[in-house]
């Protein structure tokens, strides 16, 4: 359906483009004056993949998205889409459409005129245009609102119209800029699911920018954690969550407890950690590291098991600690405990509901509890 | 994130200006109410009086004689205006000058407002100051300054001769050219400020979305920016058109003596013929003529968002 403008069909005379590297960001930098917002960044997105750029505000993720859309010109580097270098192609000639954070629906046009806008610019004949607008609105279940003005729609409805408008031209690449941020938290989850379903049906390659790790993890096939204009870690949500490569990634994706320690002997597997009375056991030997080598490890709060010391008659020598319950948060499916160790360090622990039911009595404020974790729960951060 | 700038986050000295559609339209409004409405009611009263040779040169409408309150309304002035062709000619010519002044102000002012609204915040404040600064000098002084520029031995002509572009001075004033130079110069800020206030708060993601959907730059302007700035344009046009119709000083000082503008006719009625009721009536008719299209225009504008 996509009719590419004639001047943009300059496809590189290489072998047919596979699914890998459908979108390639090659050494892209963006400077605003003296400030480097995107710093020599490389990224590759597969065909039909849902890719999320995750980071806090100011990390450069939105600028990167705008570079993909052509709304911002990179200071250096190339953007390649489907084998074609689109770096110098202006926004209006790119086969890329974006759903804006504010949705950016044209307030002086009704729903169907908004959706038809892109097709009109492309010169699609009226009958076909009407048909495609109708189809796009059906897809997002907004067919009944074709004659409404944007101001008459709810936030969720506006979002669906914006989605229809960015999909109606059948772009090669769909960009989503914080798609849920303008919605109430309550309808966010439902909308995430609906949006995911629609995008799956359409089968479009999609790059989403978000600061919400939950949103990125639910919707994306792969994600990249960004900080200060560079990618900190890239992988599947599970991959990044279970094996964070850095403290930043570990703390940004979900919550975690990070311990800093030093190796007790050359090539050993035990860490001395000032905050823990017992050494940490890594479960593998750090063959090339010398005694005193500094290591950071992450332990996810749901990987720590709690028990009353009197119930746990054989406490392990390593990977355990005693802590006093300082705060309890009931989260529904799990309960959140903050325990203070003797060193003063506070550790966060999630206890699933069904485990808690097995306790002789529910741990209360001031109770002293035994914490333990397996070697497999430890992730060494670089 | 390099998200579009928000005027509210602008911590500069003039930060209340960008958000000031209310300010840009409200201040002239209050000004007009106090310095226009009250004097106008006095003028309305005088228009129904009779001319006398007394001080003041008109009769009172109310007279209390022998415990009877007599109200005498004299419509003679209004009949004179209807019968004497000079008034109709002056009205038509005034509206014509006001129309072209508004048009020229719009053509110069819209790009100016657009440029200021899209400038970097620091530069934007500087440019705004440039627009507002002339207000700190008396209006009359500024018009006189133009005489210094436009007269035969003025700056403009001396420059043209110095550059060798001409041997003899051009007639730059006491003609239509001088009239419009003065009019456009004086009324341009009234056009730029409300349009700027409107353009600066326009969501920058709207033109970007249009570009993203395949609109060429001129299409973005015609289909998005221009239609969305219509309320700002109409506010600016009204603020320029209305005072231009009754303008007296600029046609008198920079225009040709042939230009028959209603302001001039009124001046001559007031000060040459000492016919205050007649001049007052001419004023009231002018206000009525301006008020009708304005009310209609406002109605159309308020209705617009639903029908668009």
Residue of A33, A70, A104 to mutate, testing the B interface (most B Cβ within 10 Å of its Cβ): A104
Is residue B5 one of the residues assigned to a domain? no
Nearest to B60 by CA among B277, B222, B226, B305: B277
Greater pLDDT, A131 or B34 = A131
* Chain B CA closest to residue A117: B213
Instruction: Note the pLDDT of residue B247.
Output: 85
Residues of B in contact with A165 (CB under 8 A): 213
- DSSP class of residue B221 equals I
Nearest-CA distance from A321 to chain B in Å? Answer: 42
ipTM of the complex: 0.79
The tens digit of pLDDT for each residue in A310-364 reads 887 777 788 899 999 999 999 888 999 999 999 999 999 999 988 888 888 889 9
Who among B2, B213, B227 is closest to A37 (CB)? B2
- For the domain that residue B31 is a member of, what is the CATH number? 1.10.3720.10
d(CA A198, CA B49): 77
Is residue B239 one of the residues assigned to a domain? yes
Is residue B9 one of the residues assigned to a domain? no
Q: Do A72 and B2 touch (CB under 8 A)?
A: yes
d(CA A118, CA B211): 9
Q: What is the largest CA-CA distance in chain B?
A: 83
Positive/negative CA dihedral, A337, A341, A344, A346: negative
d(CA B1, CA A55): 10
Who among B3, B214, B308 is closest to A121 (CB)? B214
Give whole-number Cα distances, A232 to A51, A56, A156, B18, in Å. 15, 12, 32, 39
Instruction: Please give the mean pLDDT across all residues of chain A.
Output: 89
Q: Do A107 and B3 touch (CB under 8 A)?
A: no
Residue A91: pLDDT over 80: yes
Positive/negative CA dihedral, A161, A165, A170, A176: negative
Residues comprising chain B, all counted: 308
Residues of B in contact with A169 (CB under 8 A): 213-214
Residue B48 φ/ψ, nearest 5 degrees: -100, 10
Give whole-number Cα distances, A375 to A151, A321, A379, A380, B63, in Å. 56, 14, 9, 11, 108
CA A369 to chain centre: 34
d(CA B81, CA B281): 8
Give bridge partners of residue A206 from the DSSP assignment.
A50, A174
Nearest-CA distance from A21 to chain B in Å? Answer: 23
Residues of A in contact with B5 (CB under 8 A): none
Residue of B209, B233, B304 to mutate, testing the A interface (most A Cβ within 10 Å of its Cβ): B209
Domain that holds residue B261: 19-307
Nearest to A231 by CA among A74, A28, A380, A73: A28
Is residue B172 one of the residues assigned to a domain? yes
Positive/negative CA dihedral, A8, A9, A15, A16: positive
- DSSP class of residue A12 equals -
Is residue B4 one of the residues assigned to a domain? no
* Chain A CA closest to residue B216: A92
The tens digit of pLDDT for each residue in B168-210 reads 888 888 888 999 999 999 999 999 998 998 888 888 899 999 9
Chain B contacts to A (CB-CB under 8 A): 1-3, 203, 205-206, 208-217, 219, 223-224, 227-228, 305-306, 308
* Chain B CA closest to residue A227: B1
Residues of A in contact with B213 (CB under 8 A): 92, 97, 117-118, 121, 165-166, 169
Is residue B121 one of the residues assigned to a domain? yes
Q: Do A106 and B206 touch (CB under 8 A)?
A: yes
Segment B26-40 mean pLDDT: 84
Instruction: Please give the mean pLDDT across all residues of chain B.
Output: 84
d(CA A30, CA B117): 24
Tokens of A40: 């020599």
Positive/negative CA dihedral, A293, A296, A299, A305: positive
Give whole-number Cα distances, A365 to A122, A125, A276, A343, in Å. 66, 70, 21, 18
Nearest-CA distance from B292 to chain A in Å? Answer: 27
Nearest-CA distance from A60 to chain B in Å? Answer: 6
Which domains, and CATH codes, for chain A? 48-74+86-250 (3.40.50.300), 255-381 (2.40.50.140)
Is residue B2 one of the residues assigned to a domain? no
Q: Do B213 and A37 touch (CB under 8 A)?
A: no
Domain total of chain B? 1
Who among A37, A72, A92 is closest to B215 (CB)? A92
Who among A92, A107, A165 is closest to B216 (CB)? A92
The tens digit of pLDDT for each residue in B136-158 reads 888 889 889 999 888 888 888 88
Instruction: Note the pLDDT of residue A18.
Output: 59
Is residue B25 one of the residues assigned to a domain? yes
Which three-class secondary structure state does DSSP give residue B168? Answer: coil
Instruction: Note the pLDDT of residue B272.
Output: 85
Q: Do A92 and B305 touch (CB under 8 A)?
A: no
d(CA B240, CA B245): 9
Q: In what order do the strands lie in the sheet with A334-341?
A: A305-307, A368-372, A320-330, A334-341, A346-352
Candidate from A179-188, A329-338, B5-14, B109-118 with smallest mean pLDDT? B5-14
Q: Do A117 and B210 touch (CB under 8 A)?
A: yes
Give bridge partners of residue A205 from the DSSP assignment.
A173
Q: Do A97 and B305 touch (CB under 8 A)?
A: no
Tokens of A344: 């003063």
């Amino acid at each position: 359906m996509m009719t590419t403008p004639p001047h943009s069909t300059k496809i590189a005379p290489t072998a047919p483009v596979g699914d890998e590297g459908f979108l390639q960001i090659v050494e892209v930098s963006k400077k605003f004056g003296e400030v480097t917002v995107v710093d020599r960044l490389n990224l590759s997105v597969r065909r039909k993949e849902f890719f999320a750029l995750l980071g806090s505000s100011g990390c450069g993720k939105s600028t990167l998205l705008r570079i993909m859309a052509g709304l911002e010109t990179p200071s250096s580097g190339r953007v390649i889409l489907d084998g074609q270098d689109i770096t110098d192609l202006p926004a209006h000639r790119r086969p890329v459409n974006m759903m804006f954070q504010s949705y950016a629906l044209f307030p002086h046009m009704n729903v169907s005129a908004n959706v038809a806008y892109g097709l009109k610019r492309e010169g699609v004949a009226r009958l076909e245009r009407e048909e495609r607008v109708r189809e796009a609105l059906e897809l997002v279940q907004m067919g009944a609102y074709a004659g409404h003005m944007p101001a008459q729609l709810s936030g969720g409805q506006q979002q669906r119209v914006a989605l229809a408008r960015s999909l109606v031209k059948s772009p090669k690449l769909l960009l989503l800029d914080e798609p849920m941020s303008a919605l109430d938290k309550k309808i966010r989850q439902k909308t995430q699911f609906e949006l995911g379903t629609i995008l799956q049906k359409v089968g479009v390659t999609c790059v989403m920018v978000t600061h919400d790790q939950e949103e990125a993890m639910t919707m994306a096939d792969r994600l990249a954690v960004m900080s200060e204009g560079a990618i900190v870690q890239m992988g599947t949500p599970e991959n990044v969550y279970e094996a964070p490569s850095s403290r930043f990634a570990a703390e940004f994706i979900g919550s975690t407890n990070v311990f800093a320690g030093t190796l007790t002997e050359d090539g050993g597997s035990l860490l001395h950690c000032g905050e823990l009375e017992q050494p940490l056991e890594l479960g593998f030997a750090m063959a090339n590291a010398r005694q005193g080598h500094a290591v950071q490890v992450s332990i996810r709060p749901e990987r720590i098991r709690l028990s009353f010391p009197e119930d746990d008659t054989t406490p392990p020598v390593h990977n355990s600690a005693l802590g006093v319950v300082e705060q309890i948060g009931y989260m529904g499916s799990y309960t959140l405990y903050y325990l203070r160790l003797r060193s003063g360090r506070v550790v966060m622990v999630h206890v699933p509901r069904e485990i808690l039911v097995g306790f002789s009595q529910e741990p209360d404020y001031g109770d002293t509890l035994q914490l333990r974790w397996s070697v497999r729960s430890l992730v060494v951060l670089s | 994130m390099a998200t579009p700038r928000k005027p509210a986050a602008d911590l500069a000295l003039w930060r209340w200006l960008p958000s000031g559609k209310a300010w840009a339209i409200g201040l002239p409004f209050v000004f007009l109410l106090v310095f226009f409405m009250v004097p106008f009611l006095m003028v309305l009263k005088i228009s129904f009086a009779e001319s006398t040779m007394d001080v003041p040169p008109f009769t009172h409408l109310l007279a209390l004689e022998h415990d009877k309150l007599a109200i005498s309304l004299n419509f003679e002035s209004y009949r004179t205006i209807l019968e004497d062709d000079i008034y109709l000619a002056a009205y038509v010519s005034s509206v014509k000058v006001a129309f072209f002044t508004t048009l020229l102000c719009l053509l110069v002012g819209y790009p100016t407002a657009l440029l200021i609204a899209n400038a970097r915040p620091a530069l934007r404040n500087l440019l705004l100051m440039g627009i507002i600064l002339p207000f700190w000098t008396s209006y009359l002084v500024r018009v006189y300054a133009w005489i210094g520029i436009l007269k035969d031995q003025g700056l403009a002509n001396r420059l043209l001769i110095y550059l060798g572009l001409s041997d003899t001075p051009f007639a730059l004033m006491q003609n239509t050219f001088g009239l419009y130079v003065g009019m456009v110069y004086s009324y341009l800020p009234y056009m730029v400020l409300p349009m700027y206030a409107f353009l600066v708060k326009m969501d920058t993601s709207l033109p970007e979305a249009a570009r993203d959907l395949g609109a060429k730059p001129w299409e973005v302007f015609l289909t998005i920016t221009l239609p969305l700035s219509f309320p700002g344009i109409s506010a600016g046009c009204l603020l320029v058109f209305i005072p231009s119709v009754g303008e007296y000083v600029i046609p008198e000082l920079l225009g040709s003596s042939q230009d028959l503008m209603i302001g001039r006719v009124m001046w001559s009625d007031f000060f040459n013929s000492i016919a205050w009721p007649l001049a007052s009536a001419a004023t009231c008719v002018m206000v009525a003529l301006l008020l009708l299209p304005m009310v209609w225009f406002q109605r159309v504008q308020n209705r617009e968002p639903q029908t668009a």
